[in-house]
Amino acid sequence: MAIDLRTVESLAPDQASLNAATKLRKPAKWPLREKEAEGRLVWGECQGSGSNPYRVMFDQDDHGYKCTCPSRKFPCKHVLALMWMFADAEDDFGEGSVPDWVTDWVGRRRKTSATPAKKAAATKGESKSLTQANVVEEESPKPVDPEKQKRLEKAAATRAAQTQQMILDSLGEFENWIADQLRLGLAGFLEEHTARCRRIAARLVDGRAAMLASRVDELPSKLSSLPREEQLDATIQEFSKFLVLSRAFRANPEAPDVRAAVATAMKRDDLLEHKDAEVAEGVWEVVAALFKTQRDGLIRQSTWLMRIEPEPIRFALLLDFFPVGGGYKSSAGFTPGDQFEASIRFHPANRPLRAIIEERKSTRSQDARQGWPSWDSEAPLTAWMNWFEANPWGEAHPILLSPGRIGRAPRQGRFWWQASDESAALPLATEPHAALLGCELPQSVALWDGQQGQLLAASTEFGTCHLS
């Protein structure tokens, strides 16, 4: 049963969803819109407010659908928008081979007979109308009462100032807490780090310093991953980062990178208009897609991009957070190894790293994949040190490794990457895949956090291997 506008209307849970969907019916928001040649599947990627696009798909036969956004409305505005655009202008959708993430979804939906998706039950007293949604979108903004506008702006400024003060107060409390840990002895902190970090993180959350709170909450897990003899040094290093960050915020709370590290990052729309945001064009490869469930109930999705053309190589981090239990699956993100041409816009910072995809121009097919450019075998931590000097509270940065291989420290049991000429060695956080052990690795990319590295990708005799 083909999708038509009536179907879209009947599937929508409410008018608000249609209103939201109509705002998404702009091709610029959809770097990908495709359909199966002579088939029933339609899919697309919608650039929402997150760094990673949402993947949206539906089945024309039975109107089944899926979107990777965390919305609790079914269908969400992205599904409605895609269906709406398809119903309006199917020819605008290119024909493509069904991507793995659509195949996986259809495979899980296995059915032997098509059962149409349920039409949403109408909310009592509410009608749903595409026409009405269009009207909402087309309506010119109502003239603004200047007095009211002034009052709104003043209220916003007051709230912002209050928030700022709350953050400053919580940072003051946090610095006192750090001083207390030193005074009482870090041996005691290391015995009780989970409980102590939990308590102070909760205070930071109350004080609106959410991002910093999350880092503090994750500190125990980071320390526990290290050998005992390294935990003291790591604690001192992390505390020093927190302290430097706190002072940076006090000195300049409006600095975007500092604010993002303490409270919240700039919204996508604001970043797109920010005059100081750097934009880098090129061919980018997804070197890793990392998912971590945090203690605060969020899943942190870190997608690491590496620009392979033009040189010099640089990195970008797409960072998103989703609630646990929201049905989010790691398969919804980019697949490591994907390559595409894009403009990447960086959040303003010294030596920026966190970014969004401003515009995705094309995706490289498997046949057209490009190899990695060669890189100089300078000391592997030089890039980290240069970045860290400019971002002294930074968490982790990718580093390029020259020819080397992975060995094991006997008795300690820890794995290390060592340069082939034995000029450098770096401890690894986790045991690498068995296939890499002993293998010559002409090129590798690792994520270095100041204490240990995590291999993200490596070129091997078996081809380029992505390890996340």
Partner 1 sequence: MSQPVDPRVLEPVKALWMTGGAAKSAAPDAWSAQLDSVAASEAELRLLALVGQASQIALVPKCQRELTFRNGLPKLQLPVLEEQFRPAFRRILGADKKKDRLHRLITFLASRGWVAHPLDWLPNSTESGEGLPEVYAPWIDWVSRARWSETDADMVPDEENWHDFYPAERIKALRVLRRQNAAEVPRLFLAKFPEENAEIRFRHLPVLADELGDHDVELLESLGNDRSERVRNLAHSYLARLGKVEADPGAIEGLNDFFKKVKGRLKKTSRIDPIPAKNKSAWTRLAKLCQSVPLASLAEAFEMTPEEVIDGWKFKVDDRANCALSAMLAFSASDSQFDRYLTHLIAERWFDADGVAPLLDRFTDDHRLQLLEGALQNSDLEFGDLTSWIGGCVGKFPAKTIKKSKAWKRLLEVAGINENENRIQTNNLDPWLFTVGLLVDRESAPELIDILNQRGIDQFDPRLQLLQFNASLPTSSS
- Contact positions vs partner 1 (CB under 8 A): 98, 100, 103-104, 106-107, 110-113, 175, 178-179, 182-188, 232-233, 236-241, 243-244, 247, 366, 381, 385-386, 388-389, 392, 405-412, 416, 418, 424-427, 433-435, 437-440, 450, 461-463, 465, 467
CB of 435: closest distance to partner 1 in angstroms?
A: 4
- What does DSSP assign to residue 379? -
Closer to partner 1 at the Cβ: 298 or 424?
424
> How far apart, in whole angstroms, are the C-alpha atoms of residue 210 and residue 203?
10
Cα of first residue to Cα of last residue in the chain, in angstroms, is 39
Closer to partner 1 at the Cβ: 223 or 355?
223
CB of 329: closest distance to partner 1 in angstroms?
A: 13
> How far apart, in whole angstroms, are the C-alpha atoms of residue 251 and residue 173?
17
CB of 235: closest distance to partner 1 in angstroms?
A: 9
> How far apart, in whole angstroms, are the C-alpha atoms of residue 101 and residue 55?
8
Q: How far is CA 183 from CA 115, 177, 220, in A?
A: 67, 10, 19
Q: Are strands 32-36 and 94-96 parallel, antiparallel or unpaired?
A: parallel
CB of 149: closest distance to partner 1 in angstroms?
A: 44
Closer to partner 1 at the Cβ: 326 or 427?
427
- Rounded to a whole number of angstroms, the CA Rg of the chain reads 25
Closer to partner 1 at the Cβ: 373 or 427?
427
Closer to partner 1 at the Cβ: 115 or 131?
115
371 SS3 class: coil
> How far apart, in whole angstroms, are the C-alpha atoms of residue 158 and residue 152?
10
CB of 467: closest distance to partner 1 in angstroms?
A: 8
Residues paired with 285 in a beta bridge:
306, 339
CB of 1: closest distance to partner 1 in angstroms?
A: 16
CA angle at residue 163 from 157 to 169, to 5 degrees? 135
CB of 429: closest distance to partner 1 in angstroms?
A: 12
Residues paired with 97 in a beta bridge:
none
> How far apart, in whole angstroms, are the C-alpha atoms of residue 64 and residue 77?
15
Closer to partner 1 at the Cβ: 129 or 252?
252
Closer to partner 1 at the Cβ: 217 or 449?
449
CB 85 within 8 A of CB 32: no
Give the CA diameter of the chain.
75
Closer to partner 1 at the Cβ: 108 or 124?
108
5 SS3 class: helix
